[in-house]
């Protein structure tokens, strides 16, 4: 990168506070080893790991940006929204993370009931035990299925039981954008549409989402998320300019599954052609 303001950043990562493999401390330490200078911990629907992560980041001379990946919906289509830079004591963030944590438990019970109808045993208690202190989600059910010998791996669990099409009847559980965004937009945070090209949407629908996201107070879109195709990144860079969004980027790191999912690694962005959201937090 030729811009002198560039620092190595990663604004989308996960720890054991949700569905990541590393503790907040281990994640920050790994990011430091990978020469990441600015990191956002964005666990699903929880901010529980932020205090620990911030303490470690400070000791290592890194910038830790408060973050959270919130489960939301647009016209009943499930999406993810990353909130960045909110205050430690943000009551609106606390309200919505608590709401979504309650929803996660209720949704987990619904998933277990649906799986029972498909002939599986009741996996709810074992999934909760597998989740431990993290937020209950589909990956915990998948892990239990593997342990119980129901499926061979995570891919099989999602292909046969846990994919969105398999769970379509319980997808409409998350807060709609119009419910959650105005309240959060009024606080000191940046609202980012996460990994837009991962949703199975037409370009027309994706642009419609971005139009509504902008109107409701959205600030940015992720133009790069992990090992994304370069042509997707170029496409999202163009959309960020068309809709006058800031641009965010991150690895969406969940664990050390291979060099292609390393913290701090994502498809290169054309920094001079976008409005990087990370500039506002650089010293």
pLDDT tens by residue, 198-236: 998 999 999 999 999 999 999 999 999 999 999 999 999
Q: Which residue has the tokens 């860079």?
A: 237
d(CA 89, CA 76): 30
10: left (phi over 0), alpha (psi -120 to 50) or beta: beta
Domains of the chain: 9-93+177-281 (3.20.20.140), 99-170 (1.10.150)
Give the per-residue pLDDT at 259: 63
Give the per-residue pLDDT at 5: 52
Q: How far is CA 268 from CA 38, 67, 92, in A?
A: 16, 22, 34
d(CA 65, CA 94): 17
Outline where DSSP puts E strands in 149-236.
190-193, 220-225
Give the per-residue pLDDT at 4: 45
Residue 98 structure tokens: 């608590």
Choose among 279, 266, 282: nearest CA to 226.
266
pLDDT tops 70 at residue 168: no
Three-state DSSP state, 65: strand
d(CA 39, CA 49): 13
pLDDT band at 167 (very low <50, low <70, confident <90, very high): confident
Provide the CB-side half-sphere exposure for 251 (13 A, CA): 28
d(CA 283, CA 120): 54
Give the per-residue pLDDT at 184: 98
DSSP state letter for 281: G
Give the per-residue pLDDT at 260: 65
């Amino acid at each position: 990168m030729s811009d002198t303001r560039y620092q190595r950043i990663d604004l989308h990562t996960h720890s054991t506070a949700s569905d990541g493999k590393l503790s907040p401390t281990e994640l920050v330490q790994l990011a430091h080893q990978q020469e990441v200078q600015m990191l956002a911990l964005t666990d699903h629907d929880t901010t529980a790991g932020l205090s620990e992560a911030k303490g470690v980041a400070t000791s290592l001379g890194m910038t830790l940006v408060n973050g959270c990946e919130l489960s939301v919906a647009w016209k009943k289509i499930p999406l993810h929204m990353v909130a960045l830079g909110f205050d430690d004591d943000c009551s609106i963030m606390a309200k919505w993370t608590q709401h979504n944590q309650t929803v996660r438990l209720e949704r987990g019970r619904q998933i277990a009931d649906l799986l029972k109808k498909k002939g599986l045993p009741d996996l709810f208690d074992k999934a909760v035990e597998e989740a431990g202190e993290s937020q209950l989600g589909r990956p915990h059910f998948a892990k239990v299925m593997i342990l119980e010998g129901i499926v061979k791996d995570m891919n099989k669990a999602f292909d046969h039981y846990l994919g969105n099409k398999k769970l379509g009847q319980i997808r409409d559980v998350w807060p709609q954008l119009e419910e959650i965004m105005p309240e959060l937009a009024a606080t000191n945070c940046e609202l980012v549409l996460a990994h837009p090209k991962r949703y199975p949407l037409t370009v027309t629908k994706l642009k419609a989402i971005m139009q509504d996201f902008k109107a409701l107070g959205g600030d940015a879109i992720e133009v790069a998320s992990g090992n994304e195709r370069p042509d997707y990144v170029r496409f999202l860079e163009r959309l960020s300019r068309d809709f006058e969004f800031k641009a965010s980027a991150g690895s969406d790191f969940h664990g050390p599954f291979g060099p292609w999912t390393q913290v701090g690694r994502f498809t290169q962005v054309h920094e001079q052609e976008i409005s990087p959201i990370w500039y506002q937090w650089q010293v």
